[in-house]
Structure formats: C-alpha cells, structure tokens
Structure 1
Amino acid sequence: MGPPKNAARTISQEAFDEVVKENMEDLGMDPTEALEDAIQTLTLQGVDLSGIVTCVPGEGSVKDNPVLQCLDRLSQLNSSPNSQIGDEIVDLLDKLTELCKAEGSGNAAIASRNGGVEIVCSICSKIEIGCLRAVFLALRALASLLHDLQSREAFRASGGPKILVGILTDGFENIDIVSSGFSVVAAAATSNEVIKELFMELKIDELILQVLSVKREVSIESLYDAIRVLLTPDDNRVLASQVYGYARNFAKIGIAGALVESVRGGLSSSSLVSASIALKAVAVNDEICTSIAENGGIDAVLLCIDDSSEQGNKTVAKVCCSLLCKLAGSDANKNAIVEKKGMDRLMKLSSRFFDDPSVLQEIMAVISVLSLRSPDNAAIAIEAGAGELALQAMQKFPAAQQMQRNSCLMIRNLVSRNAANRQVFLTILLNSGMEKHIRMAKQNHVSCNEAATDALRDLGLDDYNILCS
C-alpha cells in the first residue's frame, strides 16, 4: 500500500500560529489581516488547514476553542486514577458529537487532529456494556470523528476495530448500540482497505448475519451502510482490493438471502433503499445473482418497482432498477425477469417517470442488459415499446448525457443480433428522427461517442462515424 496520490501538505497548530505572529511583528499587519493573510498564503501553497484552529490574536486563543476544551476535560477524566464513566463524561461525549456534526464547522478535523479519536477509543474500551447511554454516546462521538484517512488510521492504531466488535457482540440486544456501532463500522472502513480487512478478520460478517437474522422486525440502516462500505473498493492506495472475496463470503454464509428478506419488506421499510444497495454490493458474480433469484430476490425487486411506480417514489425506482440490472447479469435471471413480465413493468415505470431522465437511464440500463446476447428478449423489448422510449427520451432530454449514452447502448443491444428489430428501427424509428438524435448524442457528449458509433453501425448505417450535420 502506497501513500495517497497528490497528498496535501500539512502544518502544525504551532507553526500556523507562528506565521500569524510573524505577519504582525515583521510585516506590521493588524491581527485580523495577519490571520487572513496566513490562511490565504498557506492555502495557495497547497497546505491543508483542516483541523487548524483559526482565531484572531487578542480576541481569543486556541485554548478557548470549545472542541479542545471538551477534549481536554475528557482526557483528564479518562486518565484519572480509578476513573469511572460518570455523568460528566456522558455529557461531554454528547457535546463533542454535536460540535463535530455542526456542518461546515471543521470541528471533526480539529478534534481528530488533537487526539479525539484516541481519547474516545480509550473511553470505549473502559465502558461497561451495562452503561447503555454512555456506550451509545461514545459510539456516536466516534462515528462523528472518523472523517478522513488520518482519523481512520488513528482509530486503527488505537485498536478501534477490536474494541468496536467487542461492544457490538456484548451489546447485541440493544438496537441503539447496534445501530450506532455499525455507523462506526461504515465510517471507519470508508476508503480504508486495512480496516476492512481487520473487520473481516474479527468476523464482522458473522455478526452482520446474526443481526439480520435475529432482528428482522427492525430496520437498521447503518447495518446496510456498513455492508456497502465493506464491499466497496474505494481505497486508492491499493492496486487490488479484497472486497470481491469478502462479497463472496457474505453470500456464502447467508447474508445475500437475509438481504432479500429485507428487500421483501418493500416500500413500508424505511431501509429499503439502503438494503437494496447492500444487496447489489453482495451480488458480484453469476452464482450469487442466481442464488438471490432462487431466494425470491427478483420477485421482491419487481414488486418494489411496481410499488414505486404506484406511489411515485423516484428514489426507490432508481435503486431497484440498478439492483435488477445487476441481477440481470446472469443469463438465467434474464429469462426469469422477462418471464415475469419484466419488460412491461419497466415500460410502465418509464411512463410514470418520463419527466425524469435519471429514472429513464436506469430503466434503459436494465433493458440493455436483458437484451444483451438475447435476440428473443430484444424482440420482447421492442414489442413492449423500448424503441419508442429511446426515440422520445432522446428527443426530450438532449442534454441528459448519461441517459443519452444508455439509450445508445440499449439501441445497439436491441438490434445487434435481431434482424427484425433492426428493420423496425430502419423503417419506422429512423424515419421519425432516431438517427439524427443518435448522431447528436455522438456530437454533443464525449461519453456517448463510442456507444453512439456502435448503435449506428449495428443499425446497418455505413457512415456511422459521421456526426450530425
């Protein structure tokens, strides 16, 4: 694992304060001007000032910062002989969380730069699980502190993963502890391959399955977020992530099946979107996608798509189409989706949300995958109205780059192995301006160039490299 690319330069609080002091003493600047110049100059030099306390000399000092005051008192209480988790520590943890969660304050960076993660990890290691409110607030504080590489590395170095898994195991019966605990898992594992690996070594997958299996009646959104993060290859310091193997293990022990049950809860579940995203993260190969279908996953997703159409829920529509697209990667699942009237249901959804290209592009992606290497499915898509959808959407949303690209990809898959579909496009849709819209997409959007070229070529047009005149 190498260092992050283009890592920003850093500066200590003492060095920053010295720059401000020099501006005043050597350059004769007034305090406000000296502070503003120091910030501007260092920023232009590429110095990362996150976590630096900036205050006008004479109007306040670093020690007056409420975050630092809170941390100083927590440190004193935590390090005192025979220290116990009393009301004062509980109140300070609550205050620290609120300070760090204040949007745009930079307080989380200040806290983590000044030992906040280490202090809270130490407190977490000492709290008795019976002190439910203290445990809950300590986990909330920890989640609010883990915001960047440095804070996550401090969590790792402090034994955070082991401490956290211990708390989750001991506090399994308490929903608040489970929810706040998995929020910490998600925050800590984001963009950190080493912490993901540590959690897996500590059998976090088995703990996740236990929660999903035992607490089915409760929606714990942070649990699904943790699954998504653990299975996302988002650490740019590593060349090859291990998350593919983690996903296979998740599926092997039964997490995929448990997530299907979560999705089966439908729109009545507040965590449907998070559960669907988590299930998509687990579905990394054909075998897993097939097993999800065998557990009723396709039926559950199609029902959610139907309900999202009825209730006008765009977010659910997009997420469930994205999940269905992933599941359709399996050839067996393609046929199952089509047999369950999937094409007609998708076209109904497109009619419901025809005013939103972000929904249409997801629908097109599903149809494109269903039609890939399947002339029969492509024919069914044309009969359901996929050709007209492409034409009308490209006409209405010429600036919707991703939708235009997905439309071109869909057209290519609809005609590439189906001569009858190609004839439909050539005799009807091209006469309605389809060719012009494909060439416009090729001309106006760089990301559409290859997809549009392929669509024009597979339509049988010889001049497929020519832009719209």
Structure 2
Amino acid sequence: MVRVISQETYDEVVKENIEEFSMSPEEAIKDAVEQFNAQGVDLTNIIKDLALNDSTDDIISSIKKLSEYSTAAECKHMTIILNTLMSELEKDIARRVFAGKNGAYTTLLQVLTNFKDKPIIVQTALKTITILMTGNPDLLDEAGVNLQKSLLEAPNNDSQTLHLVLKWIRECCIKHEMNRQQIFNAGILNNLKLELSKKDANMSIVKEVCLVLRALTLDDDIRHEYGKAHEHATTIARQILHTLTKLLSIYKSNEVIVGEIMLTLASLIVRNEFCQDFEDAKGIQFILDVFTNFPEVEKINWQALKLLKSLAGNDDVKAHIITSGIAPLIIYAISRLRSSEAVVTAGLACISALTLKSPSNAGVFYDCGAVSIIIDAIKAYLKCANVIQQASWAVRNMSVRNTYESKEFIAYGIEELFNQALRIHGQNLEDDIKAALRDLGLKVNLKEQWTGKGCVLTHE
C-alpha cells in the first residue's frame, strides 16, 4: 500500500528542520525527502522546493486573474497570464496537482468558453490545460468533454487550434479508463473520421488523429480490472479501417504519416475479419513497399513489423503474407537494424506469429536464414528479457513441427545460449526458455508444479 501525505505535512517537516535544527532550506528539504522516502511515502504530488521558492503564489495569483478577466471579458493580458501559469505547471506534476485543487481546470474551461473567438487566447489556453492534465487526467468532467466536442465541431477552426484540441483529448485518455469511455461515448469518433476524410487534410492533423485513435484503445489504467479497449478498437475499425488504408497510398512518400497510420492499424486489427479487410484493400503490398522504400528507417520498419504481427492473427492472411515474399524482408530488416532493440523484438515477434501452427511458413524462414539471425539476436541481447522471450517463442514455433530443420538451431549452439539466458533471467523467463529447449529435443529439467499427496479419494 502506497503511503501519501499532504503538502502541509511535508512543509511542516521542512519548517521544523529549519527552525529547530538550524538547517539551511536546501538541507531541510534534502533531509525531509530522505525521511519520507525511508518511510515509504510517495512524494510525487508534493512540491518539494517551496522553502526555496514559493511559486504557489504565482499559480494561485494566475488562476485568480484568469477567473476575473474571463468573467469581465478582459483579454489584454490574458496570454501573458496563461504563459505564466503554463511555465509553473511545466515544472512538475506536484504543481499541476496543486493548481487543479485550486480551480485551474474550471478556470481554463471558462477561458476557452468565453474567448472562443480569440484564436491566440484559445490556443494558449489549450496548451495550458493540456500541461495541467499531463499525468493528472482525473480533472476531466462532463463539461470538459462537451467543450472538447464543441471545439472539434467549430466551423472556423484553424489547423493549429484543432491540433491542440486533439492533443488535449489524447492526454486525457492516457492511463484513465473512465475518461476514454466518456470521450468515446460523446461521439468523438464521428469527428475523427470527418478529419481523416477531408481531401485537404493537414498532415499534422492526420498524425494527431491517429494518436487519439490509439489512445482510445489503450488498456493502461490499473485502477480498472476490465476496460473497453477491445470494444473501442472494434468499433473504430469498422468505421475507419477503410479510410486509414486509403490514406496509406495518399501519404506513401511521407514516412512519419505512414508509420503513424500503420501503428494505428496494428492497434485496431483485433478481429479476424479486419485482417482480411486490410488484405482485400491490398494492404500487404503496401507493407512490402514500405520495407523496400524505407530500408534504413528504424521507426517505420518497427511499425511495419508491428502491423504484420497483428495481421498474422488470420490464418489465410498469414499464408498470403508468406507467399507474397515478405519473409526475406523481415529477416533483412532484423539484420540491417540489429542495433535497434525495438526492431529486433518486433521482428522476432513477427516470426513467432507467422510460424505459429504453420510448418510450411517455418520452412520458408529456415530457407531465408532466420536461424543465424535469431542466434545473433540472442547473443546481442542476452540480458534483454523482451528479446529473449520473443526469441524463445520464435524458436518453439519454428521447431515444434520441423524436427529435422530445427537441428540447425542446435548446430549454432542455442542450448548454451538459452542456458545462459536462464541463469540471467531466472523464473521470469524459465517457462518460455525451457519450453523452447524441450521442443528442440534438448535436455531440460522441468518442475512438477502440482503433485498429489498419495491420499485415497473417498466419497461421502
């Protein structure tokens, strides 16, 4: 259980250190932090340096002035005050929490509502409220969602304002399940679809829309055991999958936009039929082109590999991926970008997905030289749990029905490598590594997890 304290309690300890123990403010702060850390107290939301510089006065003063000016429709000094507040909020999460408790959120909503015809003020206020809610999304309420919706639907929106609104919405979705559901239920999907469908869509807007779509499919709020990430992804895919696929060809020369679209598609393709829809739209050919056109770009190769892994969920599509000639390109990408842990992990995950329950696909990867690439990856990233886990799965799937070909792994010394990895990672990867060794036909000491006590069963 995480222990928390109030700002007042922390300030009292610092004050006591200064007055009773004659410490300097710096020493008093350091001692207080050490004391509370030793007691297991979480100081994330505590402003630690108030004894040195009490910036809370600036925060409270700015909020008060904004509230007064917005009510009086006074805009002469509005951007200056907003920038002052923004600079304080940027310092740390503690100041953002403090500002939220002192009415910053409600005041900023008021500014956005009352000055909606003043683009400079609106844009500065949007930047400020986004920073306020960064890591602090609990502030969002129904009024905020309604304002987001109205700003998206404003008839005279410029691209900069729209970009900032989308950025605010995305920040509200991160690590907050109820915000995601509230925003989704407000019908924001229609607005996002409209932006993607515009013939003159701004590239920065397309990118930001993709980021919002992915944020709506997150499942990262530990406070909720069950979220609606799958339901959101399914609904979004049914309405936007075709639009996103068309945008791939429109922006095919722009690696940033293409990458964002592919990553978004990977998060939306959560059902069998979506894989088929993407293939029917000639999406696999496009991925082939990405590997060919951007061979040295780490990020876009990683994004393409992530999308391929999602598509491998459909057996028919998986077979077509292999027959289209992508297997050598996957191996080439891992080899060429082997210094990138992200690309190596995604590439191994891709091999694992494409060879799952498919000996013929595994045979293609053997022919492409996958064994030496996997061995090199294990050697290079022996201490990286993600790489070793994905390598274990890839080895299993390539070996389980290809007994003869799997001897190539043994010839390359995979047994000693996996045993080294087992000593490094222990229980975290024990099951994965031992399962791979077992499927290679190598000696492995398996633990019997459940044993009987030798008692005779009786019936009453």
Counterpart-to-counterpart distance in 2, 1:416 and 1:35: 60
- SS of the aligned residue for 1:436 comes to helix
The equivalent position to 1:48 in structure 2, one of 5, 22, 43, is 43
CA RMSD of aligned residues (A): 2.7
> Structure 1 residue 458: deviation in Å?
1.8
1:242 aligns with 2:237: no
**Consecutive unaligned residues in structure 1, runs of 5 or more:** 1-5
> Structure 1 residue 338: deviation in Å?
0.9
2:445 corresponds to: 465
Against the structure 1 CA distance between its residues 236 and 392, is the aligned structure 2 distance closer, same or farther, given a 3 Å change threshold?
Answer: closer
Counterpart-to-counterpart distance in 2, 1:131 and 1:318: 41
> Structure 1 residue 120: deviation in Å?
0.7
**Paired residues of 1:219 and 1:270 also in contact (CA < 8 A):** no
> Structure 1 residue 390: deviation in Å?
2.0
1:95 aligns with 2:47: no
> Structure 1 residue 142: deviation in Å?
1.0
1:301 corresponds to: 287
1:456 aligns with 2:437: yes
**Paired residues of 1:248 and 1:282 also in contact (CA < 8 A):** yes
1:351 aligns with 2:335: yes
Deviations 1:268-308 (A, max 9, x none): 24333333322222111212222222223322233222333
The equivalent position to 2:370 in structure 1, one of 369, 378, 386, is 386
2:183 corresponds to: 199
In the superposition, the TM-score normalised over structure 1's length comes to 0.85
The equivalent position to 1:444 in structure 2, one of 424, 441, 450, is 424
> Structure 1 residue 61: deviation in Å?
4.7
- SS of the aligned residue for 1:290 comes to helix
Against the structure 1 CA distance between its residues 216 and 328, is the aligned structure 2 distance closer, same or farther, given a 3 Å change threshold?
Answer: farther
- SS of the aligned residue for 1:219 comes to helix
Counterpart-to-counterpart distance in 1, 2:127 and 2:405: 59
Letter in 2 for 1:431: A
Counterpart-to-counterpart distance in 1, 2:441 and 2:210: 46
**Consecutive unaligned residues in structure 2, runs of 5 or more:** 448-460
- How many residues align structurally? 442
Q: After superposition, where does 1:132-171 map in structure 2 within 5 Å? A: 132-148=119-135, 151-156=136-141, 159-170=143-154
Residue identity (%): 20
- SS of the aligned residue for 2:243 comes to helix
**Paired residues of 1:371 and 1:414 also in contact (CA < 8 A):** yes
**Paired residues of 1:394 and 1:404 also in contact (CA < 8 A):** yes
Letter in 1 for 2:319: N
The equivalent position to 2:309 in structure 1, one of 317, 325, 335, is 325
Counterpart-to-counterpart distance in 2, 1:365 and 1:354: 14
> Structure 1 residue 105: deviation in Å?
8.2
Against the structure 1 CA distance between its residues 97 and 439, is the aligned structure 2 distance closer, same or farther, given a 3 Å change threshold?
Answer: same
In the superposition, the TM-score normalised over structure 2's length comes to 0.87
> Structure 1 residue 31: deviation in Å?
5.3
Against the structure 1 CA distance between its residues 223 and 85, is the aligned structure 2 distance closer, same or farther, given a 3 Å change threshold?
Answer: farther
Against the structure 1 CA distance between its residues 197 and 361, is the aligned structure 2 distance closer, same or farther, given a 3 Å change threshold?
Answer: closer
Letter in 2 for 1:197: Q
- SS of the aligned residue for 2:153 comes to helix
Counterpart-to-counterpart distance in 2, 1:154 and 1:324: 38
> Structure 1 residue 40: deviation in Å?
4.1
Letter in 1 for 2:134: H
> Structure 1 residue 217: deviation in Å?
4.8
> Structure 1 residue 248: deviation in Å?
0.9
1:74 corresponds to: 66
> Structure 1 residue 413: deviation in Å?
0.8
Counterpart-to-counterpart distance in 1, 2:445 and 2:338: 30
> Structure 1 residue 182: deviation in Å?
0.8
Counterpart-to-counterpart distance in 2, 1:49 and 1:351: 42
> Structure 1 residue 190: deviation in Å?
1.3
**Paired residues of 2:393 and 2:432 also in contact (CA < 8 A):** yes
Against the structure 1 CA distance between its residues 177 and 85, is the aligned structure 2 distance closer, same or farther, given a 3 Å change threshold?
Answer: farther
Say which is worse superposed, 265-274 or 380-389, in terms of deviation. Answer: 265-274
Against the structure 1 CA distance between its residues 379 and 62, is the aligned structure 2 distance closer, same or farther, given a 3 Å change threshold?
Answer: closer
